[in-house]
Every structure is written in structure tokens, then in C-alpha cells.
Structure 1
Amino acid sequence: MTDFEILKKISECPGVPGYEQAIRKMIIAEITDLVDEVYVDSMGSVIGKRKGKEAKAVMVTAHMDEIGFMVSHIDDQGFIKFQPLGGFDPKTLTSQRVIVHGREDVIGVMGTKPIHIMSPEDRNKAPKIEDYFIDTGLKPEEVKAKIRVGDTITRERELILMGDCYNGKSLDNRVSVFILIQCLRALKGRELPYDVYAVFTVQEEVGLRGAINAAGHIDPAFGFNLDVTIAYDVPGSQPHENVTQLGKGTAIKILDGSVICDYRMVSFLKEAADAQGIKWQNEILPAGGTDTAAIQKFGKMGAITGGISIPLRNMHQVIETVHIDDVNASIELLKQALTTLDQYDWSFV
């Protein structure tokens, strides 16, 4: 199976926060032969442990959940109202296909008031989540037979190659799931300095919940989080707004809205990248949180933690885009970090 085929399978698999069953099963199948032990914790995060020379825990996270929706009401005409699971940009939802995961999967379309019958004032307003409904094309009795309140909803999108980029749904954060699996595959049989816990976390999009739980029972000394970050390098943007740029390399997190990364880890990652000629860029993300914060704060004594981030356009929209070179650079940097972690001076200076 090619890298594209693996990522396509991971990207298109459903798994909204709290309902990660399908993607969890897929991850377990992918990593079982790559680690010494696999287990699932109380919240549903998948942990693959690789034993190192020393029993010092290194926690690497990639959240498996994707933003989506949950059915909250079915009206007498069979139209479905819903609640978001994670943050969405509502303006991108008009006329988009979705999959309602009921007693069977049902295709639907996001609908809202047509522009032709909007007031002039409404035409100039951005739509809100509550303005939308889902139309399945089924009779009301069929909808109610197949779908219940509480069923989950995901986007109906195929991953494609678009130039030098991957383009599809849920690359936040399935591209990081792919990167972590590929790193485990590359490190199979290689000796590691410390025990590595590859943690595919749940419920990140609703408050870092799975990573908080996992950090509590793993109690890491070091941590790396894999997640996407903003690439706002498009027409109309200002250089200071870019955060990162697509195709310019993996991003080394300095801070986001939830964490200030340990300066020692930031320096370590930059030196590790330079030693291998890996393209990298700085990441300062002014808002939004990641599992980086959970790793850093929720072990018994905290952890020396950093983030390897993948530049992404159109975050939290219907389709998202990452550059193949940035993905590959992220894999290479994580490999280098995990194999040289014991060679750095971690004392405070």
C-alpha cells in the first residue's frame, strides 16, 4: 500500500469526538506489529509502547478524532438539526454532503435559506450553525427508522492528490496519525534511548480530554505533540498573519493559545532538524490549543514538551490541504528527535 493509500484510508475513516471506534480499530491494526505493546486506556486513546534502553517515558501524541456533528432533532418532515462536535467555520457548510451514521450510513446535504429569498440584511450576514439543516432525500418515516437523536455526522469527502499536496477532509488531525504510524514503521527494529509511548488520543477537538487522561497515567518525562497549524499564506494575507507557509517545511512550535513550549525542547528540535538538513519553520499560533499543553501539564511532575506541526490551509473547513514535503519533513524530524533525545543537555541554563 502506498503512502497516499494509507493516508486516504485514515483520512476518510469516521471518528468524531467520543465516537472514535472505527479509526481506533484501524490504528490498532496498523501499529500492532510496530510496537512491543498495544493497549487502550479508559477514555479510548490507543497507546503503542516501544521499549527503549532506559525506562524513561517519552509521550508522542496525535489526536485521532475529527470535527463533526451530532443529530439533535428530527422534524416531522424528516429534516435533521444538529450540534457541532468541535469548531467549524459555518460559511463553508452550504450544500455540502455529509454522512449520518445511524443504524446504517445515510448521505445528506447541508441546507440553509436560499439567497433569493433572504432580506438584503441577511445576505450580508455570515450564516450560523443553527441556520443549517440536513436533507437526506428520504421520507420522514424512513429518516426516523434509520436515524436517531445522538447519531454522529461526518463530512463526505475523498482524499485526493492536488499538485504537490494532499487535499481532503480531516487532515486535522489524521495527517498526524499517518505521520506517527509512518515514524513507528521507520523505527521498527532500531534501538531507542527511552521508552516511547505513541498515543493516538481521543476528544482533542473538545478540550484535549484524551491527552489529559493519558498524560496522567503515562507520566512522561518528555513529550512531542503532532498536530496541524495554520498556513495563511494566501492572497490577502499579511506576512505576520501567515503563522506558517505551505511547502516551507515542518513547523516547530514555540507557543499556541494553550502552551508555551519548553525553550530547551524548541532548541533541541531546531538543532535536530539542522543536523539532518530538514526544512523547518517557526510556529507561533496566537489562538487555539493542542495536546502539547496536556502532555506538558498533566503528568506528576510535568514534562519537557514541544510540538511538531504540519502547515495546513483551510483549517476546520470542509476540506483541508497539506504539502507532501511538509509531511515528510515532519516524519524525519520526529525520527531524529526520538533517536537522539539522550544526546542533549536538558539542564536549565
Structure 2
Amino acid sequence: MDKELFEKLVSTPGISGREERIRATVLEELKDLVDTVNVDELGNLVGVRNGIGPKVMLSAHMDSIGFLISHIDDKGFLRISPVGGFDARTLVMQRVVVLGQQDYVGLLAPATKPIHLLDAEESKRGTKLEDLFIDLMMPAEEVKENVSIGDPVSLLRSPLATDYAVSAPYLDDRLGVYVLLAALRAASSTSAQLCPVVSVQEEVGLRGATTSAFGLQPDVGIALDVTIAGDLPGADKTQQVSALGEGVAIGLMDSGSISDPRLVDRFKRVAQQHEINHQLEILPRGGTDAGGIQLSRAGVPVITISIPIRYVHTANEMALVSDIEASVDLIARFMEGAHDLELEW
């Protein structure tokens, strides 16, 4: 695994709608792996590697969940509006970075009394998103001069990477971007017609994939994303979706798309032929870029290929290196044979 590329991707901020920095980072990595690449009107990176056979769109989203500053009070405390889905229980006393006139590190705190002063009823009350505020540890005057309503906020946590596992905020979906870039490198000699897209605004409604698919008019769409690994203490194994250590997840269905059975069969054959560790996945809630691609124009056959992660949508998402490498291997091997892909009913 390329730890340098991984750390670069997960350390660069880019919440939905404010992807400027991560787009610039990915563009530097993508431009030498394709024949052409452009930034479209919505901010997607749309690449083309010329070739033969069906036009294959592979989409991984660059945006992450985060917040926008919604209010600045007289003491310089910041209120926030979520961009994407959070569980407030995982956010208390996390560090964040506010992208104002410069980057400011702050503390995400709940509007509650210290534990020593809580009565019995107050101590039972859960935390809600609207309870949270940011303390920038600065005088109020400095906050008001340097931070504005609408400034983006990202969770701040140093990535961890060992030979066994990785952890960081925003593995969703910087791991998908990593897999796309690494697979393009590994399949450099393929003759297939590939259209790698690094999309925006997935976390708020699959917007980038929807518009880029409309422009590209692909014959096939593949979403590269993460999925839930529910292999945790106390979890119902019948509802775990996927498990760490069991390889790349070949998606069958989620709440936004049903994978084309011909593509499912193709990926299963590729995995079996190359002895790539894999598992099948059904995600009962949640979706990927495949849902936007599938409904483009007259319809597109799609599939989602995912990397299992634990603790999704938190500051400490976690994945196994072996599952990431299996994902890269599967996508690269698929790319190498995509020139002869036939999807006749």
C-alpha cells in the first residue's frame, strides 16, 4: 500500500460543496494516469483514458461530511450546520479545523454543564447536533475578524497507518479515490476505454456522479466506495453487511441501486480467476454514486465495489490493508479485461 498517497488523501480537507483543496490534490495524482482530464461545472474531475470497447465510468467521490459555520456569538463561539450525516454521540470533544482566513483548530463541545454539576436527569440526556459548538481558543474579536458564516469545518485527526490497518477521518470515500488511482497505475497497459471520475457532493445526494454521467454517457458505471463492517462486539452477524479481513465487497444492492447481475457475475469471475479475496454485500440503508449513474439519461448498468470499514462517519474510521489491496487488485484486473466486456441480455 502506498502510505504516502493514502495520508495525502485523508489529510486534505474537502467537505461537500467545498472540495477545492482535495480536488487539487487528486488532480495532481490523476493527470498522468489518463489521456485527458477536466474539471466540469459542478467541480467533478472527469478523466478519459482512450481505448476500445464499452465506455466504462469508474466513480469515487472526493467529498467528505463536515459542517458549515452558521452563527458566531458575542463570545466567539461558533454554531454549526451539518453537511452530510453524523451521529452526535461520536462528536463530543473532537478536534476540528475551521477554514477561515486561515486554518484554525478548535474543539467541538456540547452546550452542557460540566459533569460535576449535572443532576441525575441532566446526566441521562443525550447529545444532539444542535447542542454542539466550536471553541477556537481565541479572543472573540479575532474570531469575528477571521471566521465568517458559511466557512467550512472538517474533523481533525492525524491518520494512522500500519502494515495491518489504517484509521483516519474520511476513509469515506478517500479510500475509494485511493483504490481508483492505484488501480489505474496497476492497469497502465489496458486497452479498455476508461473514464475515471472523482466526483463531488456525493454525501448530500450523489450530485456529482449524476451530472458527470449525464455528460459522459457511459455504457457501464462502477462506483468505488466504502461499506459498513458490522463485525463488532454485540452485533447481529446476520446484519453485519461486511466484515474486515474478508476482502473486497462486491455490491449486490443498496437503497439507491441494484447492481446489474451481468456485472456482478463478471466481477465474481475476475475475483475467482485471480484468487482475490472477496465477499458479497447487501447494504440495507445508504447508497453510492451508482444510484446517480444508473438513472442517467436512458439508464446505465451499474455496480458498487466497496472497501469494508468500521466506525463509518466518525473521526476514526478503520480499514484493513489487505482489504484495500484486494480492492485495488480487483479493479485493476477488471480494467485489464474491460475492452471485451459484453452486456447483452
Partner of 2:228: 230
- Give the drift of 1:301: 2.4
C-alpha contact 1:98 1:153 (8 A) present in aligned 2: yes
Partner of 1:312: 309
Distance of 1:77 and 1:240 partners within structure 2: 50
Change (3 A) 1:257 1:122: farther
Is 1:125 aligned with 2:149? no
Amino acid at match of 2:135: D
Partner of 1:38: 37
C-alpha contact 1:57 1:220 (8 A) present in aligned 2: yes
After superposition, residues 196-275 of structure 1 pair within 5 angstroms as 196-275=194-273
Change (3 A) 1:287 1:122: farther
Question: How high is the TM-score relative to the length of structure 1?
Answer: 0.95
Distance of 2:173 and 2:184 partners within structure 1: 17
5+ long unaligned stretches in structure 1:
none
Question: How high is the TM-score relative to the length of structure 2?
Answer: 0.96
C-alpha contact 1:309 1:330 (8 A) present in aligned 2: yes
Change (3 A) 1:270 1:125: farther
Partner of 1:27: 26
Is 1:4 aligned with 2:7? no
SS at match of 1:14: coil
Partner of 1:294: 292
Distance of 1:15 and 1:302 partners within structure 2: 30
After superposition, residues 27-176 of structure 1 pair within 5 angstroms as 27-54=26-53, 56-112=54-110, 113=112, 114-162=114-162, 164-176=164-176
- Give the drift of 1:345: 4.7
Partner of 2:335: 338
C-alpha contact 1:220 1:302 (8 A) present in aligned 2: no
Distance of 2:202 and 2:74 partners within structure 1: 35
- Give the drift of 1:163: 6.2
CA RMSD of aligned residues (A): 1.3
Distance of 2:73 and 2:181 partners within structure 1: 43
C-alpha contact 2:191 2:339 (8 A) present in aligned 1: no
Partner of 1:177: 177
SS at match of 1:141: helix
Amino acid at match of 1:34: L
C-alpha contact 2:187 2:333 (8 A) present in aligned 1: no
Cα deviation 1:120-159 (Å, max 9, x = unaligned): 3342333110001100111110100110001000011111
Deviates more, 1:99-108 or 1:162-171: 162-171
Cα deviation 1:247-304 (Å, max 9, x = unaligned): 1100000011111111111111111110100010011000011101111111x22111
SS at match of 1:71: strand
Amino acid at match of 1:305: V
Is 1:325 aligned with 2:322? yes
Is 1:278 aligned with 2:276? yes
- Give the drift of 1:68: 0.5
SS at match of 2:224: strand
5+ long unaligned stretches in structure 2:
none
C-alpha contact 1:230 1:311 (8 A) present in aligned 2: yes
Amino acid at match of 1:330: S
C-alpha contact 2:163 2:321 (8 A) present in aligned 1: no
SS at match of 1:247: coil
C-alpha contact 2:89 2:127 (8 A) present in aligned 1: yes
Aligned pair count reads 343
Cα deviation 1:44-78 (Å, max 9, x = unaligned): 00011100124x32110000001111000000000
